[in-house]
């Protein structure tokens, strides 16, 4: 078993985002181990993310730890690593804890 914050990938313990190369204006999200555009940036996170030519505006305005995401309809979204109501306040994501009922026989639950 891997010890936190390491994760098991293809049978090996690796640090989250180890070896993940993201494009310009993007970073690796340790929750998904995938590249995401930096807040307010748009594009392909594996190649290039850029700020939109006109900064998006959301109405109503976004809450704490949230940003306006450009799209057909601009929408407030929580910043990476947070969750909650993006129009009010986003907070740190809660870690999932194990309970005996979550895993089947011969299985081991690992907290993430």
**Model pLDDT for residues 14-26, shown as the tens digit of each residue:** 888 888 999 999 9
Strand partners, 91: 83
Nearest to 74 by CA among 40, 43, 29: 40
Q: Structural domain boundaries of the chain?
A: 21-51, 53-94
In whole angstroms, give the CA distance from residue 107 to residue 44.
37
Evaluated on CA atoms 7, 101, 97, 27, the torsion sign reads positive
| CA atoms lying within 13 Å on the CB side of residue 84 | 19
Per-residue pLDDT at 69: 84
**Model pLDDT for residues 37-85, shown as the tens digit of each residue:** 988 788 999 999 998 777 668 889 999 999 988 776 789 999 988 999 9
**Strand positions, DSSP E, the chain:** 6-9, 12-15, 26-29, 34-37, 42-44, 48-50, 66-69, 75-78, 82-85, 89-92
Q: Which CATH class is domain 53-94?
A: mainly beta
Per-residue pLDDT at 72: 63
């Amino acid at each position: 078993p891997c010890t936190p914050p390491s994760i098991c990938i293809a049978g090996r313990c690796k640090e989250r985002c180890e070896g993940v190369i993201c494009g310009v204006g993007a970073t690796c999200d340790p929750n998904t181990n995938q590249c995401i555009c930096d807040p307010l940036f748009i594009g392909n996170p594996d190649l290039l993310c850029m700020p939109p030519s006109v900064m998006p505006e959301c109405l109503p305005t976004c809450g704490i730890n949230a940003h306006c995401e450009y799209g057909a309809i601009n929408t407030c979204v929580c910043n990476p690593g947070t969750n909650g109501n993006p129009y009010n306040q986003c907070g740190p994501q809660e870690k999932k804890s194990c309970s005996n009922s979550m895993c089947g026989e011969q299985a081991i639950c690992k907290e993430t």
